[in-house]
């Protein structure tokens, strides 16, 4: 047993963060189903549109071939200014508090910067203290509270982060 464990440790690859591929959808949606119950859950069709949108990037946390989490960001240009919006970040329950969410956040921020975004923003359930901590740890600030944003009259916080050009 001890020999087998050593071999496993030597051959184990670290978590990698990579762009979404079409064959990821089933595992990605399984994480969505584990993280959110209806009516808060994204529908399968809506999720497919998000991950295939031209103005979006989906990042996968890949733990030796098993999906540990994912994040989706999209962006739009209005009057010459690009803003990016985090649609979601989700980490499988048994992989949380290991920095996966933080790394996924770094990946989506990188995609937003590459798209020329000056600002990254999102909605988060005001009762989702884990996610709010994650975002605030990574430099997001509370902008406004939106009453009844989510189903069942749940309020959202809008969090924003300015993305000054990197020197």
- The residues binding ligand COA (CB under 6 A) are 35, 88-91, 96-102, 124, 128-131, 133-134, 137
**Residue 36 CB, nearest approach to ligand COA (Å):** 7
Classify residue 65 as exposed, middle or buried by CB count within 10 Å of its CB (0-12, 13-18, 19+): exposed
CA–CA gap between residue 132 and residue 141 (Å, rounded):
10
- 6/136 with CB nearer ligand COA: 136
**Closest distance to ligand COA from the beta carbon of 88 (Å):** 5
CB of 70 to ligand COA, least distance (A): 10
The enclosing H or E element of 163 equals: none
CA distance 24 to 66: 10
What are the DSSP E strand ranges found in 29-137?
A: 56-63, 66-78, 81-91, 119-125
CB of 69 to ligand COA, least distance (A): 6
Residue 128 CA to residue 106 CA, distance in Å, equals 20
69 vs 60: CA distance, rounded Å: 6
Nearer to ligand COA, 6 or 130 (CB): 130
Would you say 89 or 117 has its CB closer to ligand COA?
89
Residue 152: strand, helix, or coil: coil
C-beta closer to ligand COA: residue 19 or 99: 99
Nearer Cβ to ligand COA, position 116 or 148?
A: 148
Instruction: Output the residue with the shortest Cβ distance to ligand COA.
Output: 101
- Closest approach of ligand COA to the CB of residue 61, in Å: 8
β-pair partners for 66: 63
């Amino acid at each position: 047993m001890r020999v087998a464990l050593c071999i496993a440790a030597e051959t184990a690859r670290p978590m990698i963060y990579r762009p979404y591929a079409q064959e990821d959808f089933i595992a990605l949606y399984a994480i969505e189903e584990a993280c959110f119950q209806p009516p808060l859950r994204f529908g399968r069709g809506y999720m497919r549109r998000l991950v295939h949108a031209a103005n979006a990037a989906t990042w996968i946390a890949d733990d030796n071939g098993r999906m540990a989490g994912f994040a989706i960001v999209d962006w739009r240009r209005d009057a010459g200014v690009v803003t990016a919006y985090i649609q979601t970040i989700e980490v499988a329950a048994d992989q949380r508090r290991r920095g996966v969410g933080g790394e996924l956040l770094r990946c989506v921020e990188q995609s937003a910067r590459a798209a020329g975004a000056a600002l990254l923003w999102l909605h988060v359930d005001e009762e989702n203290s884990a996610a709010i901590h994650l975002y605030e740890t990574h430099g997001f600030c509370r902008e406004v509270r939106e009453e009844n944003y989510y189903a069942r009259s749940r309020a959202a916080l809008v969090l924003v982060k300015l993305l000054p050009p990197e020197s």
